[in-house]
Amino acid sequence: MKLRLCVLLVPALLAASCGPLDESPAEPVIDELTGQVLQEATTKYDMHRLLENSDVTGGTGITPAQVQAFLQQQGSYLAGYTDPAYGKTAATLIVERSRASNISPLYMLARIQGESSLIQSGTSTNLSKATGCGCPDTSGCDAQYVGFGKQVECAAKKMRGYLTDLEAGRATISGWKTGVTKSTSDPCSVKPVNHATAALYTYTPWVGAYAIQCGRTTVGGSSLMASIYNRYKTAYPWTLTTAEGCYSGTVDATVPEGSCVQSSSDALWRQCSQGVFIGGTTAKPSNCNVSFPYCASTRLGRSVPTRTCVQVSSTLWQQCGAEGAWRDAPGAGTTGVGPVGTCYAAYPL
């Protein structure tokens, strides 16, 4: 055991006692997949049930202002970042792009931290691959997903696609399915008990270091998402649900309880129930208080999501609104905003 030098203090009669030096701290463990330093686990999770479905799809009451305050609290580089491709702040993109796919912004914060450490880092390192989306373990990142906003949108759409398959009773693209045992890359034999867990393993097919039963200790894996999510959930006074409806990224507003929205991400219908969107069906629910379907555009020859702006003549723009009705939007061509909000997409002549 190493000994430390004895240092005498003044007055001379008060000498500091000299005890043995503690062993040197262990070297940090670096995640084999992401290159990030793995934090010591304070809680371990059931590898068959990493998160609840509502953890991944909830958070309907979270606002860009709350995310901004959280980023500032964490000393994140993202607190002062605006994506030039979107002209929007990181906080706005995290909420907007997550909710557009009915994915929780709080889950997205955990995903960003687990993949790139950007939530708690004061530097821009890994900004272009913030969520690891389109960045498989075996190769580099797909160029079409490079950039912060694109990374958040990609991650949200991927998770929504996995959940849509699972909600329909299908396996995900890589074969994960609720209630069916499958081997991870650790390897571990996992039987997901809910859609959220199956979707997490589809995104990252490793259990990793934060599970009770099994997992590669040098990989964060999907268990890392559970660890970060639960830490972030209690680190800030989030408004996880809305008291009088659900926030819809498609509508870009909070819609009343019982409202039905045809999602811009996958064209499936979901209904607001007790502050959370439920469902995910091709058919519109029969008990909608108000609905936000796609609008049929004669000029485009197809249907487009709510808030889409289309120029129909040299002097007239219209925007898709509630109940599939087109509304005149005279300023949309220059401001990108119509009577029902910012244009989801704009189609000039």
pLDDT per residue as tens digits for the range 272-294: 987 788 888 999 999 998 999 99
Q: Are 145 and 154 in contact (CB under 8 A)?
A: yes
For residue 330, what pLDDT is reported? 92
Query: Where along the chain do its domains lie?
Result: 30-233, 246-291, 295-347
Instruction: Give the CB-side neighbour count of residue 41, counting CA atoms within 13 A.
Output: 19
Q: Are 188 and 197 in contact (CB under 8 A)?
A: no
Q: Which residues pair with 347 in a beta bridge?
A: 310
For residue 137, what pLDDT is reported? 62
Q: Which residues of the chain have pLDDT under 70?
A: 1-26, 137-139, 242-243
For residue 20, what pLDDT is reported? 46
Q: What is the DSSP string of 107-145?
A: HHHHHHHHHH-TTS-SS-TTGGGTT-TT--TTS---GGG
Q: Inter-axis angle of helices 148-167 and 90-100, to 10 degrees?
A: 20
Rounded distance between C-alpha atoms, residue 119 and residue 256, angstroms:
32
Rg of the chain, C-alpha, whole Å: 24
Three-state secondary-structure class, residue 94: helix
Q: What is the pLDDT of residues 137-179, one digit of tens each?
A: 666 778 888 899 999 999 999 999 999 899 888 999 999 999 9
For residue 58, what pLDDT is reported? 87
Measured over the CA atoms of residue 296, residue 297, residue 298 and residue 302, the dihedral's sign is negative
For residue 5, what pLDDT is reported? 30
Rounded distance between C-alpha atoms, residue 264 and residue 344, angstroms:
9
Three-state secondary-structure class, residue 319: strand
